[in-house]
Structure 1
Amino acid sequence: MITITLSIILLTSVISFTGFSNQKVLDDLIFYPPAITNRNQWYRFITSGLIHADIMHLLFNMYSFYLFGDLVERTFVQIFGESGKLIYLILYIISLIVCLLPTYFNNQNNYHYRSLGASGAVSAVIFAGIFLYPTMGMGIFPIPFHIPGFVFGPLYLILSAYLAKKGHGNINHSAHIWGAIFGIVFLIITTSFLSKFNAFENFINAIKLYIAGY
């Protein structure tokens, strides 16, 4: 049975590969704030997450998404029952929008700004996974050993904030930050209102047990 995660990966890969050889596809789907401001092309918040700059950009995002997406999707089904897959899909789609809102407001009329890739939504899924399983080991280059998710998460956000402030490279670090925050907020809100699972309490208790050596 094909999962929501695999469906997103397949769709994103097909459209991204099409864009690699078709500039019109990139121009029509890319996140371009003036097109939203002046032509109301709001769909670009979502379609920009279906295209990537190159094969390495696509592979990195989709591999990261697969590693965490499969876990988060299965956990959502355990928490929310039959509606878990739909809630998981909603998380992904809304995070594509939310992660780009600060970027949009800062570049509404910037005719030189463009952004593409699913990094913000992938960050939302990764941080939802970290919040669900805060003690799972995660690797970060160049550290040669794994660190628990609840340590990795803050380090990642601090580094992203620093790089965003420095304007490092062509990476939209703001989307990473807001995607990550949204993933956690979405998880807390949905579990609070739609399930008996207390995500925040689970997060705290898991860290306490980890520190205590259990």
Structure 2
Amino acid sequence: MARRGEQFAGAFGTVVRRRRRLDEIEQGAQVRLAHRVPRALSACVASGPDAAPAARTAGPSLPAVDVGAQRRARFADVAVATLTFVALNVATFAVTHNFLDVATLTGESLRHGALQDGALFAPYIDGRGEWWRIVTGTFLHANLAHLVFNMFLLYLLGRRIEGYAGPSVLVGTYLVSMLGGSAGALLASPLAATIGASGAVFGLLGCAFVVEFRSGSNPWRDGLGSLIVVNVVVSFLIPNVSVGGHIGGLVAGALAALAVGDLRRYRHWLVVWGLFAVIGAAAAAFAVWAAGTWVEPVF
């Protein structure tokens, strides 16, 4: 009987302590939480149910997640626009070189028909009205070495610009530089059949230089400025290289970057594309005009 009395007294004491502790909690006593939770939630529990809404309001909020920005960042990491231009050039090379026949990959292996129909050549642009050559000539390459060199630089520079400013800016800069390179080639050597994507690649060089400079980086410190100087000098030293195409593309790409300015401040893609359309139209018009100088060349 005595043992049962002790058990009953102990159980009764436990109930009393639980009830007393519950009263303390309801009156605002601090509660120790066993799991790590946000401070706002801890404040809710510690202050009692009546104070929970106010505590939740005062607590820190989670930052909003911009799903669209994350998707664009992943898109830029893959460099889809850059790889698309590389694929277009490689596919054109395959078609115009008998689908990569090993016997035609060395030397001046471009098929004569492709050269005749698509190369940049002022008399045909001016005399026959074949204005499309200011575009098609930039996707033709003489041989495998010509293609590999241009695609290597296109990939390196394209990823750099696309990662900073996005695919739309990369596409716009490439197209504007392509037209600027054609204009420069037609002005400097209108009677030469000119091919290659080097004008567009030089435009990406000019754009990358301006973008880095305006972002506060030093393009000379990381070697970009030296790369431009070396390529310009080599253009004058190696025969059968379109100096006008290289300089024209370089200038067009730099001007495009300067005109657009801080590329990230524009909230609507129509603004960026509108600026590129104006610059591209001016470059195309200048190229067609330059083609008309073949009778009396400027240089």
Which secondary structure state, in structure 2, belongs to the residue aligned with residue 99 of structure 1?
helix
* The structure with more radius of gyration: 2
For residue 44 of structure 1, report the CA deviation from its aligned partner. Answer: 0.6
Aligned to 1:33: 122
Q: Report the CA distance between 1:67 and its aligned residue.
A: 0.6
Q: Using CA pairs below 8 Å that are at least 6 residues apart, which structure has the higher relative contact order?
A: 1
Match of 1:121 in 2: 200
Aligned to 2:86: 9
The one-letter code of the counterpart of 2:90 is S
Please, which of 135, 139, 160 is the counterpart of residue 218 of structure 2? 135
- 2: CA distance, partners of 1:178 / 1:106: 10
Provide the alpha-carbon RMSD of the alignment.
Answer: 2.5
Q: Once the 2 structures are TM-superposed, how far is the Cα of residue 29 of structure 1 from its aligned partner? A: 1.3
Provide the C-alpha distance between the structure 2 equivalents of 1:75 and 1:195, rounded to a whole number of angstroms. Answer: 9
Question: Partners in 1 of 2:154 and 2:185 — Cα distance?
Answer: 22
Q: Which amino acid aligns with 1:150?
A: G
Counterpart pick for 1:54 among 143, 146, 150 = 143
The yes-or-no answer on 1:169 pairing with 2:239 is yes
Structure 1 residues 61 and 155 mapped into 2: Cα distance closer, same or farther (>3 Å)?
closer
2:89 maps to amino acid: T
Deviations 1:35-94 (A, max 9, x none): 1011111111111111100000000000110011011012112xxxxxxx2332122112
2:177 aligns with one of 87, 95, 100: 95
1:182 matches 2:282: no
Shift of 1:130: 2.5
Structure 1 unaligned blocks of 5 or more? 78-84, 139-146, 198-214
Paired residue total: 173
Aligned to 2:225: 150
What is the Cα deviation at residue 155 of structure 1? 5.1
State the shift of 1:132 in Å.
2.5
Aligned to 2:261, the other structure's residue is in SS state helix
Cα contact 2:184–2:247 (8 A) shared by 1 = no
- Evaluate the alpha carbon distance shift between residue 149 and residue 69 of structure 1 in structure 2; reply closer, same or farther with a 3 A threshold: same
Checking the alignment, whether the CA contact within 8 Å between 1:18 and 1:25 is kept in structure 2 is no
The answer to whether the Cα contact below 8 Å between 2:89 and 2:139 also exists between their aligned partners in 1 is yes
Shift of 1:101: 1.4
